[in-house]
Amino acid sequence: MNEIRDLPKVLPSSQDHFLDGPKLAPGITRFWLIRHALVEENARMCMYGAMDVPLCPDSLIAQRPMYRALAERLPKPAHWLVSPLSRTQRTAQAVQEAGYGPAKLTVEPDLIEQNLGSWQGLPYEELPQYLNLAPHPFWAVGATECPPEGESMIDVCARVGRLLDRLADQYAQQDIIAVTHGGVVRAALAHALRIHAETALHFSVQNLALTILERLDVGWRVVTVNELPGV
């Protein structure tokens, strides 16, 4: 009869993490990506991209329960990063004011939304006449379409990928909360999953939704995508 050996009681750290548990393991390089809150109504009618447009004041009031839920969900301590655009900074402030407490906001230029170049500010109904390629079914332009004086989603994915790798080294084994943009979150998913930008654009990333990524020794891991706070 073959001898049955006892299984080891302590698994290697990578396996232990892979098995999952009710709580996220501490000491992991973890990104908490939040898409900014809803922008004001007039801005939503056009291709605002990397334009600096304000948040919708009514939504800031109506969605206070979501800010409170985010404040409870997010880790402490953590490094807070925002894009250069005021809509991410105001969203971060609203979460902190809802119960998280004050924390320094560091502006990270590479967290900015896709630069749509000379197409920024165009009403959506006017965009088709300028396109060289078919639009993506879930994005205004295809992943390889590069607006004049702007950048393609391929470019955004490369920019965000380099940023994530740099931040993962800079803040190793720490939590990073980044309030950013829908295109950037999708680009981060493309980097973590090693998928094409065109595929990553199929992810739904709603306003105030949380996406959690981890950088482990064995690679990137996606914990959650488009998690709506308080829902």
pLDDT tens digits, 103-123: 999 999 999 999 999 999 999
The average pLDDT across 7-19 equals 46
Distance, in Å, from the CA atom of 216 to the CA atom of 65, rounded to the nearest integer, reads 33
d(CA 97, CA 83): 19
Q: 114 with 183: CB under 8 angstroms?
A: yes
Mean pLDDT value across residues 155-170: 98
Question: Has residue 12 been placed in a domain?
Answer: no
- For residue 52, is it within any domain? yes
- What element of type H or E holds 63? none
* In a domain? residue 10: no
Domain-embedded: residue 50: yes
**Number of independent structural domains in the chain:** 1
Q: Identify the pLDDT of residue 11.
A: 39
pTM over 0.85: yes
> Residue 24 — pLDDT band, cuts 50, 70, 90?
confident
Residue 19 lies in a domain: no
Q: Is the separation of the CB atoms in 70 and 208 below 8 Å?
A: yes
Structural domain contains residue 74: yes
Cis peptide before 148 (omega within 30 of 0): no
Q: In this predicted structure, what is the pLDDT of residue 20? A: 59
Kindly state whether residue 23 falls inside one of the protein's structural domains: no
DSSP structural state of residue 96: I
Confidence check: pLDDT of 17 > 70: no
Query: What is the percent of the chain with per-residue pLDDT over 90, rounded to a whole number?
Result: 88
Structural domain that includes position 150: 29-227
Closest CA to 25 of 171, 169, 173, 172: 173
Q: How many CB atoms lie within 10 A of CB 210?
A: 23
Rounded Cα distance between 80 and 36, Å, is 13
pLDDT at 152 over 70: yes
pLDDT given for residue 23 in this prediction: 77
Structural domain contains residue 83: yes
The answer, yes or no, to whether residue 124 has pLDDT greater than 80, is yes
Average pLDDT taken over every residue of the chain:
92
pLDDT of residue 18: 55
Q: What is the CATH number of the domain that holds 46?
A: 3.40.50.1240
